[in-house]
Amino acid sequence: MKLLDAIATKTTEYFNSVAGKMLATNSYMIYSIAFTERTWCCPNKHHPVAIVR
């Protein structure tokens, strides 16, 4: 289980770093997509998280 935890941590760090780079370069586009999805597509608000990840 320690190995799985380590893999999960590394995967999360990878996704976070990719998301950070994307936010740095395309923050306006991502915000627009997330806002549109939240407003029109997904009232329960789980979509923006999926987009950022």
Task: List, for residues 7-21, the tens digit of each pLDDT value.
Answer: 888 888 887 787 777
Query: Is 1 contained in some domain?
Result: no
Query: Is 37 contained in some domain?
Result: yes
pLDDT grade, residue 40 (50/70/90)? very low
**For residue 50, pLDDT beyond 60:** no
Instruction: Indicate whether this model's pTM tops 0.75.
Output: no
- Give the contacts of 38 (CB within 8 A, at least 6 positions apart): 45, 47, 48
> Among 24, 25, 13, 15, which residue's Cα sits nearest to residue 51?
15
Query: Is 10 contained in some domain?
Result: no
Q: How many domains does the chain have?
A: 1
Please indicate whether residue 47 or residue 31 has the higher confidence score (pLDDT).
31
Query: Is 35 contained in some domain?
Result: yes
Q: 53 is in which domain, residue-wise?
A: 26-53
